[in-house]
Structure 1
Amino acid sequence: MDSLSLLVLGVVLCFSCYGAFSCPKRCTCHVGIDTTEVVCPDVSLSRYPSDSLPGSTTSLTIQFTSLDNITAYDLRATPLLQELHLPGNRLSSLPAHLLVGLQHLHTIDLTGNLFQTLPPQVFHHAPLLTLVLKDNLLTNVSADWLPRTSNLTWLDLSGNKLSKGPSALLQRLTRLEILHLSQNHLEELPADSFHSLPALERLYLDENKLQALDAKAFSGNANLTHLFLQKNQLESLPAAVFHGLARLHYVDLSENKLGSLASGTLAEGMVWVDLSSNPWHCDAALVPLWKWLCGQSDRSEPTCVSPEALKGRVISQLTSAELSPVPAQ
């Protein structure tokens, strides 16, 4: 083959490669050895760009656009897709068989859309590990969204309108490690609420309306390491609520309505417990908490709200006499 023929062949191959990795208008594409990432942030985008996406796309982000519809047919254009990020769009519904054929998809992020409900089997057909439904309008969660053999390890349902925990769905998530239920309308946690989650490590329940916890709310969660309960309405805690949680070392109880804690509620192995911004009443009933705080080298510094004589004082800096004064003779 002469040099001219080689040159022509090279040009043809270059154009072929360029076509294979063409990038949709108003999007950016990053091509690596084993990955092709596409990001489309244009607010004027209103249609899924399936006809111009590289077939090798492994990660697709369409964010803060006017996109209001997506179909299983659209997703067929990217059979190698591993991550699908669709935050801040105008999606309000999804087809039941959306993920058919996506045998590599492990992450889907639907943060900040307009979903009030979703159809059964909507997240079947793909080996999902991470599902994010944060900041939508969901009032209920269906167990049928995911298959019975789901391998999901991360589920984010924060920022919705859930008044009850998704117990039926959680029964299918025996491998779940991280669960976000923050910023919902949860008022109670029945016994064994998360019993089906033996692998659970991080549980986010902050900014709900919880007024009390059942003593067995976290039974079965022996691998729990981080528990977030801040900004609720908790007035008391059962003494045994954290018993059996040997790995639990971070608990956030700040901004609740706690006035005291029963003896034995907090274990010595807890490395950090945030107790700030609670209405602590500093009298003899607070001695167990005072002793626990004094034994911690790394701690938050909650302060007394009452009685008036101790208001604003750091609890760990009080003396036993101040907490349990000897009655005047």
Structure 2
Amino acid sequence: MVKMRSWLQHALAVMVVLCCRDALSCPKRCTCHFSAKTTEVVCPDAGLSHFPGEGLPGNTTSLTIQFTNLSLLTSQHLTAIPLLEELHLPGNKLSSLPADLLKGLHHLHTIDLTDNELRELPAQVFHHAPLLNLVLKDNRISSIHSDWLPNDSNITWLDLSGNHLMKLPMAQLQSLSQLKVLHLSQNKIEELPAGCLDAQPALERLHLDQNKIQSLDVKTFSRSGNLTHIFLQKNRLDSLPPTVFQGLKRLEYVDLSDNKLQFLSPGTLDISTSWVELTFNPWDCDGKIEYLWRKLTMESLQSEPKCSAPENLKDRVIATLTRKEMGLPE
């Protein structure tokens, strides 16, 4: 009996040693940070070309592989770390992902694939994990499969900026009722159809800067009452419907700079914030500029747009103009 107890104690000690050795191991070319609740692994070595599976702690909760030559990632790689919560893979050479990549990762809430070479992704590729944050910034994606994410997705942050999208991905967005932040800047989007954001009532920040948007439908934001920030700078907007921002009672900031706006119709900026960026537009400072001039002089909008025309007023700050200079009666 004593011998049996001694053998069991020895076996238990060996198991503990082996377990701890695995938990505290670290792959070559990586650094590991251990705490009571988390195990973070960071692999920034440019010479890394394969998944650093050897020595990867089985209790890893955060894995970062950045700016390497990694070009292949499979579900087999990730099933070895089932407790993973965050996966950061910026600046690698990934051109595709398998449909079952995240299978078995029941704790994964964040995945960052910034600056890879992704073009097309398979259906259901993000179905197998309870994602909250998905970053696909600076890839080569031109279209999005409507079944990337499940219908009951809890995604709150989606970043598709810096890709080749020509249309707003409306079909994909239909399942994202919890979405709060949407980044679509630096794409090739030309229009925002009416109702395009109706399925995202929780949306707070909308980034559409550096696209090719020429106009906005009057109902673009009609069901987006939680919007606080709208970024539309560096597009091709030459006019705005006077009620386009009506009803956005939580609005804090709007950026309309660097578009093709020459004047604003009365009512356009009758909104709850004075933080509206209007610079670098070709403002025509004749009688039609009166509404904007009034907003700038009487409500202290936090912007200093300048005239582009007529020639005698070029580069004048609009707020400094007199009624006579705008051709208006005194």
Measure, in 2, the Cα distance between the counterparts of 1:13 and 1:97. 33
Measure, in 2, the Cα distance between the counterparts of 1:19 and 1:257. 60
Which aligned pairs between 1:230-249 and structure 2 lie closer than 5 A? 230-249=233-252
Measure, in 1, the Cα distance between the counterparts of 2:188 and 2:106. 35
- 1:320 is aligned, of 305, 313, 323, to 323
Measure, in 1, the Cα distance between the counterparts of 2:269 and 2:19. 65
SS at match of 2:134: strand
Contact 1:268 1:292 (C-alpha < 8 Å) held by counterparts:
no
Contact 1:171 1:196 (C-alpha < 8 Å) held by counterparts:
yes
Matched, 1:264 2:277: no
Superposed displacement of residue 309, structure 1: 1.6
Matched, 1:140 2:143: yes
Measure, in 1, the Cα distance between the counterparts of 2:189 and 2:79. 38
Measure, in 1, the Cα distance between the counterparts of 2:140 and 2:99. 18
Q: Alpha carbon RMSD of aligned pairs, Å?
A: 1.8
The residue that corresponds to 1:280 in the other structure is: 283
Which aligned pairs between 1:1-329 and structure 2 lie closer than 5 A? 17-297=20-300, 299-326=302-329
User: Which is further off, 287-296 or 172-181?
Assistant: 287-296
Unaligned 5+ segments in structure 2 are 1-8
Q: Once the two structures are superposed, what CA deviation does each residue of 1:19-50 show, in whole Å capped at 9, x if it has no partner?
A: 42100001000111211110001111111122
Measure, in 2, the Cα distance between the counterparts of 1:272 and 1:133. 29
Q: Once the two structures are superposed, what CA deviation does each residue of 1:260-317 show, in whole Å capped at 9, x if it has no partner?
A: 0000001241230000000000111111111111133351100111111211111111
Contact 2:70 2:93 (C-alpha < 8 Å) held by counterparts:
yes
- Evaluate the alpha carbon distance shift between residue 11 and residue 98 of structure 1 in structure 2; reply closer, same or farther with a 3 A threshold: closer
Measure, in 1, the Cα distance between the counterparts of 2:233 and 2:327. 29
Measure, in 2, the Cα distance between the counterparts of 1:244 and 1:18. 59
Measure, in 2, the Cα distance between the counterparts of 1:46 and 1:87. 14
Measure, in 2, the Cα distance between the counterparts of 1:118 and 1:268. 40
Superposed displacement of residue 193, structure 1: 1.1
Superposed displacement of residue 18, structure 1: 3.6
Contact 2:295 2:301 (C-alpha < 8 Å) held by counterparts:
no
Contact 2:124 2:148 (C-alpha < 8 Å) held by counterparts:
yes
TM-score normalised according to structure 1 size: 0.93
Q: Once the two structures are superposed, what CA deviation does each residue of 1:220-251 show, in whole Å capped at 9, x if it has no partner?
A: 10000000000011111111111111111200
Contact 1:277 1:302 (C-alpha < 8 Å) held by counterparts:
yes
Measure, in 2, the Cα distance between the counterparts of 1:209 and 1:261. 20
Contact 1:51 1:77 (C-alpha < 8 Å) held by counterparts:
no
Contact 1:152 1:176 (C-alpha < 8 Å) held by counterparts:
yes
Unaligned 5+ segments in structure 1 are 1-5
Matched to 1:266, the amino acid is L
User: Which is further off, 295-304 or 226-235?
Assistant: 295-304
Percent identity between the aligned chains? 60
The residue that corresponds to 1:3 in the other structure is: none
